[in-house]
Structure 1
Amino acid sequence: MPREFTSLTQLLEHISKTAKRRKRVSLDLVVRAVGRRSFAPLLLLVGIILFSPLSGIPGVPTIMGLLVLLTAVQLLLGRSHFWLPQWLLRRSISKGKLIRALHWLQKPARFIDRWLRPRLEFLVGRAGTYVIAAICAVIALALPAMEIVPFSATTAGMALTALGLALVAHDGVLALFAFVVTAFVFGLIAGALF
């Protein structure tokens, strides 16, 4: 059931309510909760997962990178309903780990929500969304390498969260911040690998 989210707190609360009904929470359940038709909530979801302590679980950055890449490419191709493979959607995590990560994110989410508002909307309009999708695809391709560079996946999660929030809140200023964070992430990776 697709929903409109206007804040990060609202999205976290919705995921938490969905998770409380299960012992294990699959990616499919969370994706259905936030809506498969909207790029912004899916991007925001991945960013939250990578920014949380869940990014320290081996394989999570790579799986999230694949999710972002698949949705970003489909957006760039003009699809309105995102297809994701079943093997990816079946991936799951224990309810306890997810609830702890969501709880850890509540305070930063409330702080961030106070600063969100529609600004410089041309940066997050139709053309801006395609630029953001292209940037996200590049980040997604780099996420497997981020498994070996400490904290880089968390920083990438911050960039993806900011890009997702910018689209949700129509906040171009936040999009500009996300572009700076993305440049920093790639500088960090380049410095660590070369």
Structure 2
Amino acid sequence: MTLIQTSTGRPRAFSEVVEKLGERGGEKLCLGEVVEAFGDRAFGPVMFFFALINMMPWPPGGTTLTGAPLLLLSMELAWGRDALWIPRWTERTAVKRATFRRLSARFRRGLRLTERLSRPRMHFLTGPFGQGLIGLACVFLSVVLVLPIWGANLLPAVAVGFFSLGVMQRDGLAVIIGWLLTGATVAVLFLAWRLIVASFTHGTEWIGRIV
């Protein structure tokens, strides 16, 4: 029996499964263990799992590794797959269980509150077509995470988290929040690019005047 059910057969909430994963023995928590724990509900939870990991304050380039599995999962979601498939080598992707416990404890209260507030609604946003669009958005967000941009991981990771929650709970409101955060990510990247271009132009003009 996977961790998604209690001994009485009652489905566990996502926060309960996360807590049980942290309590298990072993120094490291592998992706394969997460997939096994959630069983056929794995798509949304595994994406949410990686969204949480990518919210951590990684050094520059750190999310290149942690964002790569999200990119693969997002492509599968955009392709319209019903069941999660991951290559065997990615099953060994792991984080220290103690780190996972600290991170999950930090978000546990928020997760439980979100679970109480979320419910199935606006089904057209989480249907097959809606999930395809979510997958495309998450592909873009995952690419942003993979790029070695310092400090650029939080906003796209939170957006993926809301999209994942929407897929898990069939909650269209969470999906809408994900889309709003995706738009905010695009705006921030655009402004950052404009700033870089303006700084480069100003620098070359300044050098030109000196020369």
TM-score (norm 2): 0.76
Equivalence map 1:99-178=2 (5 Å): 99-145=101-147, 147-150=148-151, 152-178=152-178
- Relative to structure 2, which stretch is displaced further, 11-20 or 91-100? 11-20
CA apart distance, 1:160? 0.8
Larger Rg: 2
Cα distance between partner residues in 1 of 2:13 and 2:172: 20
Q: Which of 42, 53, 72 is the equivalent residue of 2:46?
A: 42
CA–CA distance in 2 between the matches of 1:32 and 1:160? 21
Partner of 1:90: 92
Q: How many residues align?
A: 186
1:77 aligned residue: 79
d(CA) in 2 for partners of 1:29 and 1:58?
28
Distance of 1:119 and 1:80 partners within structure 2: 20
- Relative distance call for 1:156 and 1:64 in structure 2 (3 A) is same
Q: In the superposition, relative to structure 1, how do residues 80 and 111 fare at CA in structure 2: closer, same or farther (>3 Å)? A: closer
Read off the aligned partner of 2:130 and give its amino acid letter: G
Change (3 A) 1:102 1:28: same
Q: Which residue of 2 aligns with 1:32?
A: 36
Task: Answer whether contact 2:15 2:108 (CA < 8 A) is retained.
Answer: yes
Aligned to 2:27, which of 19, 23, 27? 23
Q: Secondary structure at the match of 1:56?
A: coil
Secondary structure of 2:153's counterpart equals helix
SS at structure 2 position matched to 1:133: helix
The answer to which structure, 1 or 2, has the higher relative contact order (CA under 8 A, 6+ apart) is: 1
Q: Measured at CA, do residues 57 and 18 of structure 1 come closer, stay the same or move farther in structure 2, by a change above 3 Å?
A: farther
Superposed CA offset, 1:10-58 (max 9, x none): 323313322322111122222322236642222222222223x3x5256
**Separation in 1, partners of 2:30, 2:59:** 15
For the 8 Å contact 1:23–1:94, the answer to whether it is kept is yes
Unaligned runs of 5+ in 1: none
CA contact (8 A) 1:136 1:160 kept: yes
Q: Percent identity?
A: 24
Q: Is the contact between residue 116 and residue 171 of structure 1 (CA under 8 Å) also seen in structure 2? A: yes
Aligned runs of 1:177-188 on 2, under 5 Å?
A: 177-188=177-188
Using structure 1 for the length normalisation, give the TM-score: 0.82
How far the C-alpha of 1:135 sits from its partner, in A, is 0.8
Distance 1:140 1:116, change over 3 A: same
Cα distance, 1:2 vs structure 2 = 8.1
- What runs of 5+ residues in structure 2 fail to find an aligned partner? 6-11, 195-211
Give the CA deviation at 1:173: 1.7
Native 8 Å contact 1:34 1:41 kept in 2: yes
